[in-house]
Structure 1
Amino acid sequence: MSSPLVSLIIPTQRRRDGLISAALSTFRQAGVDLNALELIIVDNDQVDSARATVRALADEAPFPVTYVHEPEPGVANARNAAMAWAKGDLIAFLDDDEEAPEGWLAALLAAMARHQADVVFGPVRGRAPETVVAHRDYLERFFSREGPAEAGLLDHYYGCGCSLLRRAALPDPKAPFSAIRNHIGGEDDLLFGQMKRDGAKFAWEPAAWVWEDPVAARLTLGYTIPRAFAYGQGPASACAAASPPDRLGVARWMAQGLLQAAVFGTLAGFKWLIRAPDFAPTLDRAARGLGKTLWWGPFKIHFYGLRAGA
């Protein structure tokens, strides 16, 4: 019996070097049937800026590579465009700033079979260049995803990058990601939250890890602290978006966030005054707390889907 087709999906937007590293790492996967793989690269740029790069990658790929141009900006639009072209029963997501070791996909597939899971997540290891000195430890942790030391089933979920999904478990097999999160992110949180409510099984596999190499512009507090604020908005936003809305949940998250912002904001101010080395993670926790409290429309920060030159 042949293996089910696995569609590897890499969304990208004007990040040529990262895209090349990510794609090449999928070509080097070991312990899997390469004849059962395909790679879908979706270019979420207004112009088809990645077309030539993908064409060159396809010439050296050990399996079919499909280029999809989705000019309508938005992270959900990009993922859904790739899903519409993907033929696989299983969908593996890799971001265009991630690089997968040779055993990554095999570990995800083994974990899905072992746990009969609908989604498997793996760790992400943030990697900053040696030129980054200020707040280096914090920045690498910020761009990392940590989880349990042992493989097993989860009662929660993580983000879409470095994951394997069973298409049949998705609420919509062709366009599962909500467009309301196109510009702020969290489209994967909405999807996995709905899947959890529907009884989906999530698993964790420590062996299925990837590197993440953020672009230089993101390796600053000017990027990570607003992003921490946006991450903090997630729980209250999810409660508000539930059907029917979970108003008690919203109030609970807002109250928790207000306390968190007050405590860690005060502490961060003190640590800034004394130039404490752990100032950045304390400020991060304050920002996440503030995000839980200020989660609605005017406070939403757009990280995705900007037009060129915007």
Structure 2
Amino acid sequence: MARVTIMIPTQRRPDGLAVAARSVFGQAGVDPSTLELVIVDNDQVPSAQSVANDLAKTAPFPVLYVHEPRPGVAFARNAGMAKASGDLIAFLDDDEEAPAGWLAGLLAARERFDADVVFGPVKTRAPAHVVEHRDYLERFFSREGPSEAVVLDRHYGCGNSLLRRAALPDPVAPFSQERNHIGGEDDMLFGHMGAAGARFAWEPAAWVWEEPVLSRLNLRYTIARAFAYGQGPSSHCAAAIPRDYVGVARWMVIGLGQAAVFGAVAGFKWLTRAHDRADWLDRAARGLGKTLWFGPFKIQFYGRTA
């Protein structure tokens, strides 16, 4: 039977980490003797160590603590991979909570489709006092997909996913360090895997709750993040070996058109106070990101531990 490592990278979110880890302890339909939990603390000081130690006392399987003081999401994920002993790696974020059937759902889909990576839905819960743009904000942080379990022709992000280690280009350090501060290290990895013929699958039953920190539940954060997401296709073409100059140019032109059209609609929606005005601003930002993807326009979301 394959051994499974559940990995939770964390940075200064002790309460969220505890919720995520305890939800992992309550997984049903999976033999606990095949499981381990790896907690990766990406803080300059080992701020999550005491939480990890407390969690280990009541855990039904081993809890391994890794301190990665170097700031960056890729550093954190790679440090966890180096510690993990699993043939399969399940990723859960420290602001997520997994229902009891989560892991069994991911594992069943992997077997059914012989998948290298399986993704599941993310359902966002915003606090009751978040009223303005609430629907948009919950959609932004959520992940939706097909209503049935299927093989995918695309990929999603690393949070709530199951990876087959043998399919990774580097089984110990698969995440690119150049994405440490801007994110998208998972998108780059899955993009390379897809180009090499990896099989992706989707399991709607393997969903998780997500409760974003309050500092992110605002347009200032989400529109900047949408801009960074938009940079993904152009950056991916630029990072290809050899560099895909035609792809970069194509995405930049597409992005310019999207920014112009969606930006105009967003301006009108804002003037009329339309309920969906944030959605159109988001689309415009993603388009602009495809065009302004280089150098000084890169936005740092990760890697701040000081």
Aligned twin of 1:220: 218
Aligned twin of 1:230: 228
Aligned twin of 2:167: 169
CA distance in 2, matches of 1:19, 1:307: 17
1:46-98: CA deviation from partner (whole Å, max 9, x where unpaired): 00000001100111110000010000000000000000000000000000011
| 3-state DSSP of counterpart to 2:115 | coil
Matches within 5 A, 1:223-262: 223-262=221-260
Aligned twin of 1:65: 63
| 3-state DSSP of counterpart to 2:5 | strand
CA distance in 2, matches of 1:35, 1:97: 26
| 3-state DSSP of counterpart to 1:243 | coil
Matches within 5 A, 1:39-118: 39-118=37-116
Match of 1:148 among 143, 146, 149: 146
CA distance in 1, matches of 2:95, 2:163: 20
| 3-state DSSP of counterpart to 2:175 | coil
**Conserved 8 A contact 2:42-2:305:** no
Q: Which amino acid aligns with 1:35?
A: S
Aligned twin of 1:289: 287
CA distance in 1, matches of 2:246, 2:19: 45
C-alpha displacement at 1:273, in angstroms?
1.1
CA distance in 2, matches of 1:125, 1:239: 31
CA distance in 2, matches of 1:128, 1:274: 25
Q: Which amino acid aligns with 1:78?
A: A
CA distance in 1, matches of 2:272, 2:201: 43
| 3-state DSSP of counterpart to 1:40 | strand
Aligned twin of 1:22: 20
| 3-state DSSP of counterpart to 2:151 | strand
Q: What TM-score does the superposition give when structure 1 sets the normalisation length?
A: 0.98
Q: Which amino acid aligns with 1:154?
A: L
1:162-187: CA deviation from partner (whole Å, max 9, x where unpaired): 00000000010000000000000000
2:28 counterpart of 1:34: no
Q: Which amino acid aligns with 1:50?
A: A
CA distance in 1, matches of 2:109, 2:33: 20
Aligned twin of 2:186: 188
1:263-293: CA deviation from partner (whole Å, max 9, x where unpaired): 1111111111111111100100000000011
**Number of residues of Structure 1 aligned to a counterpart in Structure 2:** 306
Aligned twin of 2:156: 158
CA distance in 2, matches of 1:260, 1:83: 38
CA distance in 1, matches of 2:229, 2:133: 20
Match of 1:122 among 115, 120, 129: 120
CA distance in 2, matches of 1:204, 1:85: 27
Q: Percent identity?
A: 73
Which piece of structure 1 moves more, 75-84 or 267-276?
267-276
CA distance in 1, matches of 2:193, 2:277: 37
CA distance in 2, matches of 1:48, 1:205: 35
C-alpha displacement at 1:31, in angstroms?
0.5
2:271 counterpart of 1:273: yes
1:109-132: CA deviation from partner (whole Å, max 9, x where unpaired): 000000000000001111101110
CA distance in 1, matches of 2:100, 2:244: 43
| 3-state DSSP of counterpart to 2:36 | strand
CA distance in 2, matches of 1:307, 1:84: 21
| 3-state DSSP of counterpart to 1:301 | coil
**Runs of 4+ residues over 6 Å off in structure 1:** none
CA distance in 2, matches of 1:215, 1:71: 22
Q: CA RMSD in A?
A: 0.6
* Structure 1 gap segments, 5+ residues each: none
Q: Which amino acid aligns with 2:176?
A: S
Aligned twin of 2:6: 8
CA distance in 2, matches of 1:20, 1:123: 21
C-alpha displacement at 1:307, in angstroms?
2.5
**Conserved 8 A contact 2:147-2:204:** yes
Q: What TM-score does the superposition give when structure 2 sets the normalisation length?
A: 0.99
Aligned twin of 2:202: 204
